[in-house]
């Protein structure tokens, strides 16, 4: 690397007023990111930008894009991609996993209830017209029990990490959840661009998603 080139973190603004994934309030690298910080510090900003551009170009050439339906231009856009990964450690992931599973079960109970006992409506928690006015509410489903009692086989839970360091749910997508393919392509692109990173982490695989989904659907 040329001495005139800046490293990725040489001009990084560590502002304690904002939540930072990598640095703590004192500007020190968080333990979970130390190895990744050391690995990335060897790259120049220019080289990293080139790698990022190549990854985005690869996404576009493979058709890994999405469209904002409210956008009048109706132009295909590259799915947001960042070569610097967010690390979720084991303990943090266990909390997320428990919460997402609990929420998915709650949503399934909610759907069963509105087509059966309607307790959530009778107790005044949710008004009836909010349910019946939905284009996705089907009167034909009243009293129907799906196989295994499962309505939402797949839940797409949108999460954000707030300034307090906790994860919050933005929305739940169970009508037509999407995004799994982006996760798999994102991981593949990261491995190609910076394959050495994964030699230092025992990261959960994402490529077995289709097989896991098949097994779950068959079990129902």
Q: What is the mean pLDDT of residues 117-133?
A: 96
pTM: 0.80
Q: What is the mean pLDDT of residues 148-167?
A: 89
Task: Inform me whether the pLDDT recorded for 121 exceeds 90.
Answer: yes
Q: What is the mean pLDDT of residues 94-120?
A: 96
Task: Inform me whether the pLDDT recorded for 115 exceeds 90.
Answer: yes
157: three-class secondary structure by DSSP? strand
The 3 state secondary structure assigned to 85-103 is CCCCCHHHHHHHHHHHHHH
Separation between Cα atoms, residue 123 and residue 113, nearest integer Å: 12
Q: What is the mean pLDDT of residues 113-134?
A: 96
Task: Inform me whether the pLDDT recorded for 46 exceeds 80.
Answer: yes
Paired tokens of 34: 């130390």
Q: How confident is the model at residue 99 (pLDDT cuts 50, 70, 90)?
A: very high
Mean pLDDT of the chain: 85
Task: Inform me whether the pLDDT recorded for 15 exceeds 70.
Answer: yes
């Amino acid at each position: 690397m040329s001495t005139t080139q800046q490293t990725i973190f040489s001009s990084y603004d560590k502002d304690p007023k904002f939540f930072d994934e990598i640095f703590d309030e004192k500007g020190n690298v968080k333990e979970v990111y130390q190895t990744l910080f050391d690995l990335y510090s060897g790259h120049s900003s220019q080289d990293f930008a080139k790698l990022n551009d190549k990854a985005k170009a690869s996404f576009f050439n493979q058709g890994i894009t999405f469209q904002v339906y409210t956008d009048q231009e109706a132009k295909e856009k590259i799915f947001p991609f960042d070569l610097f990964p967010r690390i979720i450690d084991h303990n943090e992931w266990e909390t997320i996993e428990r919460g997402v599973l609990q929420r998915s079960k709650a949503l399934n109970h909610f759907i069963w209830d509105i087509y059966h006992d309607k307790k959530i409506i009778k107790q005044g928690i949710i008004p009836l017209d909010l349910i019946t006015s939905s284009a996705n509410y089907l009167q034909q489903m009243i009293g129907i029990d799906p196989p295994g009692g499962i309505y939402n086989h797949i839940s797409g839970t949108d999460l954000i990490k707030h300034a307090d360091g906790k994860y919050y749910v933005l929305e739940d997508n169970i009508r037509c959840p999407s995004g799994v393919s982006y996760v798999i392509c994102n991981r593949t692109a990261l491995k190609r661009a910076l394959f050495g990173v994964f030699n230092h982490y025992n990261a959960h695989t994402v490529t077995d998603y289709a097989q896991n989904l098949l097994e779950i659907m068959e079990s129902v």
